[in-house]
Amino acid sequence: MLLVGCIALLLGWTGIGLAGLLRPRSVVLAGRFLFPLGALLGFALAGLAAASLLGGGIERLIVPLGLPGLPAHLRLDPLSSVFLVLLGASSGGISLFAGGYFRAGEGAPPGLLCLQYHLFLASMGLVLIADDAYSFLVAWEVMALSSYFLVVTQHRMPEIRSAGFLYLLMAHVGAICLLLSFGVMQGGSWLFTFAAMRAAHLSPGWAAAAFLLALIGFGAKAGLVPLHVWLPEAHPAAPSPVSALMSGVMLKTAVYGMLRVGLDLLGPPVWWWGLAPLILGLLTIFYGVLFAAVQTDMKRLLAYSSVENIGIVFTGIGLTIVFAGSGMKAVAALALLATLYHCLNHAFMKSLLFLGTGSVLHATGERNLGRLGGLIHRMPWVAWLMLIGTLAIAGIPPLNGFVSEWLLLQSFLFADHLPHEFVNLLIPMGMALVALGAALAGYVMVKFYGVIFLGQPREASLAQAHDCGWLERVGLTWLALGCLALGLFPLQVIDALGAVTRQLIGAVVPQASPHWWLLAPVPGRPVSYGPLVFLTATLAVVLLTVFGVRLTYHQRVRRGPAWDCGFGAVTPRMQDTAEGFGQPIRHLFQSFFEIERELPAPADRAPRYRIAIRERIWRLAYEPISGAVERLANTAARLQQGRISIYLLYSFATLLVLLAVALLS
Amino acid sequence: MSALDWITQVLEMVVALAAAPALLGWVNQCRAWLQNRRAPSLWLPYRSLHKLFHKEAVIAENASPLFRIAPYVVFGAMVLAAGIIPSMGTRLPLVVSADAIALVGLLAAARMFMTLAAMDVGTAFGTLGARREMMVGFLAEPALLMVIFVASLVSSSTALPAITEHLASGHLGLSPGLAFSAVAFILVLLAENARIPVDNPATHLELTMIHEAMVLEYSARHLALMEWGAQLKLFNYVCIGFALFLPWGVATGHIGPVGLLVAIPALAVKLAAAGAGLALIETVSAKMRVMRIPEFLGTAFLFAVLGLLVHVLLGA
């Protein structure tokens, strides 16, 4: 029984977490022993889930846990399995890294971090196998709380506490919507198992309401614009392995939930439901990447990039629903495939990048891009592994980011002849936005990589930067290899994902080519992509060039000072800062940003240039809402005078009213 | 896949390698004639490359290995791109593995390596060039993709040879969607190849340069590869234009030696005409201010999206 194995592994994670409490201050126990052990369990979980995925079967189990009469229903089906593979495989790399990363003297003691971290992992696993609303929501809540404690690890800093509060608040706004959504979906049977929800026949209006509530609930967790505001605050606040886990894995549990509700629990979807995730997803892509381009904090930049990637995923979900609702099963399966593929890709590449920023942070103590630079000389391991992640997330073939983008663009391209005129016009706009987002992501990643790792060190202290330790290297290498494998063997991944498309859509993406290395998802049309051949051809041409030049010409090389047009004194200050590199975007899309500038006057003795960029959404939506809540609370607070006589008066008045009601009726 | 297909494949890359400097030389010659100057020789680019290869390379003290790898990657990407674009024949074995989207990805890869290498030494000009190049790229790349998508929708494939075969065999003249995207494509071609009005290939003036700023730190064989790569890029873009809008003369189907005999002169004639046209555009237009470039490329992007919308609306 694979499901039992999965449960045992989740319990194992919990046990590892508790073991951390044995000697909470010991870095050796947590770092060298427990975290690597957790990584092994992660790989085992990925293996079990992969076996279940390839088998394609469904396993159910009822465990008498929780309240009497309310046992926990658990289920392992292809959709859960994919996300369990994602959880296990990427968390394995992250845990290995975390083993080398956490040290004493960083806020919470390592043993406590170990408990929170492994509870976080186990709760994410439980979310994925829960088969009734109770266990789902309990696991969801444990996930939110354990990650909250991880975010506020360094709770002595006020800005980290406020980031944590914002995260907790948004998590609960989302959770309330989910609660309501499940409440609608039980459809009057008052049975909260997922099986009952599948069987319930909702009226179209109620089904749409449940879908919308789920979209808000899961959207808040995933970081869909306009509910993304917690992401750029919480990700930089958390320690890097936690940021990696939140961005790489936790956001995907929300995607899982959305797919579970939208394509499974609510039955066959109605096409126009898909418009909401589609339009919001496209908006999120554009919004996220624009803000990523103007960030100066490396982890905030990555957080906004996660927002962009969640946009891509929700665009895929929207397309899937529009197609599935219009009866175009083959294209729906293609769009779903692109969605799942992008989830897997993002888990690997974003974890890799977040962990790399962790190494940089440890080596230099800096998160601000403006104080970094030239680290490729000091930290070659981190720099070269991060280059893979950077190219992957920028969608450069033959790495993995390109595959999911390719699949998504193909599903857009073959979406012609939809039965709805309006959507037909939306499709080209969507394609344009996806393409623009991909190109802007390239801009963002050149800025990210170039400013951190290339050029001259912007501060003298960077000369002391050191490369990461061996456990961290192993973790980073695992994730980088994942990026390569997902990029080079798409066909094998797609074969495995076929069970999910069959389960949710009732169709698989066909393979129109007889070759195992050639991806050809649209039969009857000459559309194909072969990453292995692509890589071989590129390498062959590049190596031929290298040898050609070597054989034909001498290889004399001399090192000299930089030329720079003969300009002479070149100082590190003359390089672009992060603000400078983002300037064209800031200038072009001014109206999107709320910019606060502090410019020096010509006569300033100590000139200072400062620029702060905020999201307009704070002023337009969040501040009015929080103001209204505060006013309401203040009004209600007038009832509380804090004097016992007033409270006795309330009781007396209530008694009188009740008596009057009793007498009159 | 026959041996002849592989021969065509290799021939396309070799012809691109050989003809790319001549195309640039031809454009420069035409420009000189149009501007009443004495024209440089058509072979000048070859001589420059030869000279550069023989020089001793000087590399900045703090350059990383990335700086030395980048010219090979950029050059290799451009050679491979030449093999994906059907400039003479449409039976190209490599195209099965790399369609038009992968081609755009390949060009993006070259761009990323070039900009990263430009940032590597950490000079003011290098980062300036990298920033401006990415500013050009983030609008030009989606515009190119949209242009290709119009043609893909017309011929229901994203493989360039399939598109070319469909368009070449078609009775259709230019469909309205394709007409819009042709305008967009010309704007993208000018921007991507650092031509006037976006960039001036003949100046090292700080206020204007983009491409030259990026390769400023390179010398000798590395510079030669970067320059040859840039010439190949121009050749490739012109050939993409032929594949999408002027597919005539390309040997479709199983080409024999006869087909190639027709295809090579046809390509030469088309290249000569395109080079003259490019020189004309560059002569009659003035260089723009840098911050006007996004407007220029925004126009290109909008034209391309408009082309797509027109295509969908008319259902053509």
Tens digit of each residue's pLDDT (9 = 90 or more) over A13-39 = 999 999 888 888 888 888 888 899 999
B141/A contact by beta carbon, under 8 A:
yes
Q: Which amino acid is at B67?
A: F
Q: Name every residue whose Cβ is closer than 8 Å to that of residue A398 and which is 6 or more positions away in sequence.
A: A487, A488, A531, A532, A534, A535, A538
What is the model's pLDDT at position B173? 63
- Residue A611, SS3 per DSSP: strand
User: How far off is chain A from B36, nearest CA to CA, in Å?
Assistant: 30
- Residue A338, SS3 per DSSP: helix
Q: Is B160 exposed, middle or buried (0-12, 13-18, 19+ CB in 10 A)?
A: buried
Per-residue pLDDT tens digits for A45-59: 999 999 999 988 888
Examine the pLDDT at A595 and tell me if it is beyond 90. Answer: no
For residue A541, the chain B residues in CB contact (below 8 A) are: 76, 79-80
Beta bridge partners of A488: none
Which of B74, B101, B289 best probes binding to A when mutated, by most A CB atoms within 10 angstroms? Answer: B101
Query: Does the pTM exceed 0.80?
Result: yes
**Strand (E) or helix (H) holding A610:** strand A610-615
Residues of B numbered 235-274 whose beta carbons fall under 8 angstroms of chain A's beta carbons: which are they?
none
- Residue A593, SS3 per DSSP: strand
Sign of the C-alpha dihedral, residues B113, B117, B119, B120? Answer: positive
Diameter over CA atoms, chain A: 110
For residue A588, the chain B residues in CB contact (below 8 A) are: 294
B153/A contact by beta carbon, under 8 A:
yes
Specify the pairing of strand A593-598 against strand A557-560: unpaired
Q: Which residue of B has its CA nearest to A447?
A: B131
Range A600-625 average pLDDT? 86
What is the model's pLDDT at position B197? 85
Range A226-248 average pLDDT? 91
- Domain residues of chain A, as ranges? 589-664
| Tokens found for residue B66 | 């990335």
User: How far off is chain A from B155, nearest CA to CA, in Å?
Assistant: 10
Query: Which among B66, B105, B296, B311 is positioned nearest to A413, based on CA atoms?
Result: B311
What is the model's pLDDT at position B2? 75
Q: Which amino acid is at A426?
A: L
Per-residue pLDDT tens digits for A396-439: 988 999 999 999 998 888 776 777 777 888 888 888 899 999 99
Q: Name every residue whose Cβ is closer than 8 Å to that of residue A581 and which is 6 or more positions away in sequence.
A: A447, A450, A451, B127, B130, B131
In the numeric block, the tokens 């919470």 are attached to A108
In angstroms, the CA A309 to CA A39 distance is: 26
Query: Which among B178, B155, B308, B105 is positioned nearest to A527, based on CA atoms?
Result: B155
Instruction: Report the residue count for chain B.
Output: 316
Q: Which residue of A has its CA nearest to B134?
A: A443
Contact B163, B169 (CB under 8 A): no
In angstroms, the CA A240 to CA A230 distance is: 16
What is the model's pLDDT at position A105? 60
User: Residue A446 and residue B112: Cβ atoms within 8 Å?
Assistant: yes
Q: Name every residue whose Cβ is closer than 8 Å to that of residue A630 and which is 6 or more positions away in sequence.
A: none
In angstroms, the CA A508 to CA A521 distance is: 10
Rounded to the nearest integer, the mean pLDDT of chain A is 89
Q: What is the DSSP letter of A567?
A: T
Q: Name every residue whose Cβ is closer than 8 Å to that of residue A15 and which is 6 or more positions away in sequence.
A: none
Contact B139, B296 (CB under 8 A): no
B72/A contact by beta carbon, under 8 A:
yes
User: Residue A526 and residue B116: Cβ atoms within 8 Å?
Assistant: no
Per-residue pLDDT tens digits for A272-290: 898 999 999 999 999 999 9
Q: Which residue of A has its CA nearest to B221?
A: A549
- Residue A530, SS3 per DSSP: coil
What is the model's pLDDT at position A479? 93
What is the model's pLDDT at position A525? 74
CB contacts < 8 A (A, B): 258
DSSP B47-97: HHHHHHHHSPEEEETT--HHHHHHHHHHHHHHHHHHHHS-SSBS--GGGGT
pLDDT string in tens for chain B (316-residue length): 577 788 888 888 999 999 999 999 999 999 999 988 988 998 999 999 999 988 888 998 888 999 999 999 999 999 999 989 988 877 788 888 888 899 999 999 999 999 999 999 888 888 888 999 999 989 899 999 999 988 888 887 888 888 888 887 766 566 788 888 899 999 999 998 888 888 887 777 766 788 888 888 898 889 999 999 999 999 999 999 988 888 877 777 666 677 777 888 888 899 999 999 999 998 898 888 888 888 999 999 999 988 888 888 876 4
Q: What is the DSSP letter of B38?
A: P
Query: Which among A8, A14, A83 is positioned nearest to A52, based on CA atoms?
Result: A83
Contact A118, A16 (CB under 8 A): yes
Contact A233, A288 (CB under 8 A): no
| Tokens found for residue A619 | 């002023």
Which has the minimum average pLDDT: A224-233, A634-643, B65-74?
A634-643
Query: Measured at the alpha carbon of residue A485, what is the angle toward residues A127 and A388, in degrees to the nearest 5?
Result: 100
For residue B137, the chain A residues in CB contact (below 8 A) are: 439, 442-443
Phi-psi region of A572 (alpha: psi -120 to 50; beta: other; left: phi over 0): alpha
Contact A204, A270 (CB under 8 A): yes
Examine the pLDDT at A179 and tell me if it is beyond 90. Answer: yes
| Tokens found for residue B59 | 């590399």
- Residue A130, SS3 per DSSP: strand
